């Protein structure tokens, strides 16, 4: 039987009728019943033995690293294998592979479109993952890496606040320059009303996280410190950056 890595690689770009061997001469066939390739691979994963499930999970980060180093092979795809792998990690809960995925992403030479696509997938995964030390580490790995984009700073801050940090002000100060830059961009032509509406929606979600009982008192103190109306994040980050 093919190695687990070769089985997964072959299934990442399946033709109709492709079959994934799951042991005991059984196969899972790809077809229209699967909305996405990651759904197909998740189904195959669930049919594996316990040992094979472990082997399956262990190679996902390595396969991502191999693809990301050769992005010319998949860049034309709407959703290439690297993005499929990120969503697959989410679907089967293989979060232990995320540090390897982000390390490979940070080391890769990519165009803006590829960076946007992978960042979007990564934030979808970590925003929906159970809060843990691992997720905090992965978030820091993304934010401190060379591929991070300012437009994801509000989402990153929201995730950090949901982890109930000890020093709330330090966390906000970390993201303030990124968020302020996003605000300036949203107020500068040719940005559209949709861009500004999205920014307001993002701030509303951020404030929802800040309203958590454990954060309410320190957050109100931070707004008072900067003489800003509670909830006015745009003004808050502007004042933090200018101080």
pLDDT attached to residue 73: 58
In whole angstroms, what separates CA 17 from the centre of its chain? Answer: 31
pLDDT attached to residue 69: 84
Q: What is the chain's mean pLDDT, rounded? A: 91
What does the block give as tokens for 173? 């100060």
The DSSP letter of residue 36 is S
pLDDT attached to residue 38: 95
Measured N-to-C along each axis, helices 133-143 and 153-162 cross at an angle, to the nearest 10 degrees, of 160
Q: Which residues of the chain are under the pLDDT cut of 70?
A: 1-2, 71-79
Rounded Cα–Cα distance for residues 129 and 133 (Å): 11
CA distances from 218 to 26, 133, 166 (A): 57, 22, 10
Q: How many CA atoms lie within 13 A of 194 on its CB side?
A: 1
pLDDT in tens, 198-242: 899 999 999 999 999 999 999 999 999 999 999 999 999 999 999
pLDDT in tens, 123-136: 999 999 998 999 99
Please give the full DSSP string across 79-133, using - where no structure is assigned.
Answer: S-HHHHHHHHHHHHT-GGGHHHHHHHHHHS---HHHHHHHHHHHHHHHHHSPP-H
């Amino acid at each position: 039987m093919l190695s687990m890595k070769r089985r997964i690689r072959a299934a990442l770009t399946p033709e109709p009728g492709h079959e994934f061997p799951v042991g005991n001469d059984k196969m899972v066939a790809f077809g229209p019943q699967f909305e996405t390739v990651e759904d197909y691979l998740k189904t195959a994963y669930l049919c594996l033995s316990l040992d094979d499930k472990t082997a399956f999970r262990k190679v996902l980060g390595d396969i991502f690293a191999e693809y990301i180093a050769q992005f010319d092979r998949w860049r034309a795809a709407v959703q290439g294998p690297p993005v499929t792998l990120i969503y697959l990690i989410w679907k089967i809960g293989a979060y232990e592979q995320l540090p390897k995925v982000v390390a490979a992403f940070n080391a890769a030479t990519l165009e803006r479109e590829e960076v946007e696509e992978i960042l979007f997938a990564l934030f979808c995964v970590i925003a929906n993952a159970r809060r843990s030390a691992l997720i905090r580490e992965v978030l820091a790995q993304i934010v401190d890496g060379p591929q991070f984009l300012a437009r994801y700073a509000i989402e990153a801050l929201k995730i950090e606040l949901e982890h109930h940090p000890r020093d709330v002000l330090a966390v906000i100060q970390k993201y303030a320059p990124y968020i302020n830059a996003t605000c300036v961009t949203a107020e500068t032509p040719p940005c559209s009303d949709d861009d500004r509406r999205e920014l307001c929606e993002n701030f509303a979600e951020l404030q929802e996280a800040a309203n958590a009982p454990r954060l309410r008192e320190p957050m109100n103190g931070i707004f008072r410190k900067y003489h800003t109306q509670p909830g006015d994040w745009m003004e808050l980050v502007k004042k933090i950056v200018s101080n």
